[in-house]
Amino acid sequence: ADIPVLTIDGPTASGKGTLAAEVARALGYHLLDSGALYRATALAALEAGVDADDEAGLAALAAGLPLRFEPDHVWLAARDVSDDLRREDVGAMASRISAFPAVREALRQRQLDFRRLPGLVADGRDMGTVIFPDATLKVFLTASAETRADRRHKQLISKGISANLATLLQDLQARDARDRSRSTAPLKPAEDAQLLDNSALTIEASVAQVLEWWAQRR
Ligand code: C5P
């Protein structure tokens, strides 16, 4: 556990993926997008017809997934699933199956394996609380629900996908509520986490703040 870890946890569309990628690049560290593991499990389940309530079947699927991560790309066996993982139906399924303890346990060791020299930046919901409790620095990223819905809306529009802002806000609040209230690894800041509300911050300013905390910790 001499390998340094910086965790970034937070709710849907808080910008933690972008922040984690930028911070990892600045430090020259490995990157773990833990949500991608839940999303890949969800995608595989949807395609294999595994029932969303079949905890044991989902856990077996999660444990055996032939996943490979490259910068900006995720491969499931010989297939690039990067775009499929961003689908709304995949995100919704990921949110459902992530409530199962057996699924979380199956993905746990796979997440620990990302901790390699020179260091790791890990983003998700429980990186600082459950997976890497000994992390060097824990950041809990938030933004108002309205800000997050607005960002998601702009993202979809820029991809040419029409979306309704009010519906997005509702979906996002429902997913947050589920992530916060589940009994296994609920979304909440670690006791020793630094809180960062980026509602009014540029990405550059958020990155600078995290790097400043990092410099103080090391
Ligand atoms: O972060 P992302 O939106 O890609 O995560 C997809 C879903 O996976 C989330 O809705 C959440 O329920 C789940 N998740 C989780 N624990 C993590 C990362 C993601 O439960 N560490």
Global pTM value: 0.94
Nearest CA, atom 14, ligand 1: 35
Strand order in the sheet with 79-80: 67-70, 73-76, 79-80
Q: What pLDDT, on the 0 to 100 scale, is given for residue 72?
A: 85
Q: Determine if ligand 1 sits within 6 Å of the CB of residue 41.
A: no
Please tell me the distance between residue 205's alpha carbon and the centre of ligand 1 in angstroms.
Answer: 25
Which residue from 93, 90, 106 is spatially nearest to 57, judged by alpha carbons? 106
pLDDT at residue 88, as a whole number: 84
Q: Distance between CA atoms of 84 and 82, rounded to whole angstroms?
A: 6
Q: What is the pLDDT along the chain (218 residues), one digit of tens a residue?
A: 589 999 999 998 899 999 999 999 999 999 999 999 999 999 999 999 999 999 999 999 999 999 999 988 999 999 999 999 988 899 989 999 999 999 999 999 999 999 999 999 999 999 999 999 999 999 999 999 999 999 999 988 998 988 899 999 998 998 889 889 989 989 999 999 999 999 999 999 999 999 999 999 87
Backbone phi and psi for residue 80, each to the nearest 5 degrees, phi listed first: -80, 110
Contact 206, 15 (CB under 8 A): yes
Q: Among the atoms of ligand 1, which is closest to the Cα of residue 39?
A: 6
Beta strands 5-9 and 120-124: pairing type? parallel
> Is 41 among the annotated ligand-binding positions?
no
- Name the token pair of 77: 């066996």
| Mode of pairing for the β-strands spanning 30-33 and 5-9 | unpaired
Q: What's the 125 CA to ligand 1 centre distance in angstroms?
A: 6
Residue whose token pair is 């010989």:
78
| Rg (alpha carbons) of the chain, rounded to whole number | 17
Residue 163: phi, psi to the nearest 5? -150, 150
| Residue among 60, 17, 23 nearest 152 (CA) | 17
Q: What is the DSSP string of 85-152?
A: HT-HHHHHHHHHHTT-HHHHHHHHHHHHTT--TT-EEEEESSIIIII-TT-SEEEEEE--HHHHHHHH
Residue with CA closest to ligand 1 atom 16: 125
Atom of ligand 1 nearest to the CA of 123: 21
Per-residue model confidence (pLDDT) at position 1: 56
Ligand 1 atom closest to the Cα of residue 36 is 4
Which of the 8 DSSP states describes residue 193?
Answer: P
ipTM of the prediction greater than 0.85, yes or no? yes
* pLDDT at res. 179: 87
